[in-house]
Amino acid sequence: MLSTVSTGPAQRVGRGGLARDGVLVACAILMLLTLYLVFLWVPTDANLGVSQRILYFHVPLAILSLISIVVVAIASAVHLARKDERSDAIAYASAEVGIVFCTLAIVTGAIWAKPVWGVWWTWDPKLTLTLVLWFVYAAYMMLRAYGPKGSQGARYGSVLALVGAIDAPIVYYAAELWRSTHPSHVIGVSAESGSLPPEMAIGLIISLLAFSLLFTHLIIERYVLRRAETGVDEIFRSFT
């Protein structure tokens, strides 16, 4: 029994370390480039002043927090269909990273809002729906931590993720749907052409790439750890 367990996920997840290190190095290089562009290269906005520079952090964090819940939902759907533990591990890892990015998106948005709107928070539709998304992440993590263990808890979490992911497209289009005070999109499929000067657009794209690599690296590392945790659980179950 022990020899069977020793060749399971706990050993297999350690492979691919070189590729993971490569992602981390590329992420570090792009992050340094982003800091240079944001603070030394891109021009200061004539209307918003220095506070506009937080845009280069807030926008990538917000976009990736939306992408993350979609990843959780897709992986959860695969898990429900195939009972695949690897898909559940991807969903769990993405949810953990997603709640961190969503929290940072809300915090950086509040920092931007204070000098521009005069308040840290307002119940703008886009902000409110983003807070709802944060609660979806929190509910998922609490369910997985304190709910039923094993496959039953994974199924419950998968259903919650599928329902919660509905919020993502609504958040993305909230400013257009409700004509809210939140600025319209400056990047993405619904952004207007020329909404940003070329230097600002380049800085934002590089920042998005840097945060995307960081997002990918964190999910991979958390996935590896989650699979190792599964391997440890298998070892303990072999003694019971």
Please give the residue range of the domain that contains residue 15: 2-238
Could you tell me the pTM of the whole model? 0.85
Q: How many domains does the chain have?
A: 1
- Of 152, 156, 128, the C-alpha closest to 140 is 156
Per-residue pLDDT tens digits of the chain, which is 240 residues long: 344 444 444 444 445 677 778 888 999 999 999 999 988 888 887 777 787 888 899 999 999 999 999 999 999 999 999 888 899 999 999 999 999 999 999 999 999 888 888 888 888 888 999 999 999 999 999 998 888 777 788 899 999 999 999 999 999 888 778 877 777 666 665 556 556 778 888 989 999 999 999 999 999 999 988 888 777 766 766 676
Measured CA to CA, the distance from residue 183 to residue 23 in angstroms comes to: 32
96 Cβ contact list (under 8 Å, min separation 6): 141, 222
| Domain of residue 60, CATH code | 1.20.120
- Of 144, 147, 29, the C-alpha closest to 94 is 144
Q: Give the helix, strand, coil percentages of the chain, each rounded to 5.
A: 80, 0, 20
- What distances in angstroms separate CA 115 from CA 48, 123, 204, one per listed residue? 9, 17, 21
Answer whether 223's CB lies under 8 Å from 90's CB.
yes
20 Cβ contact list (under 8 Å, min separation 6): 217, 220, 221, 224
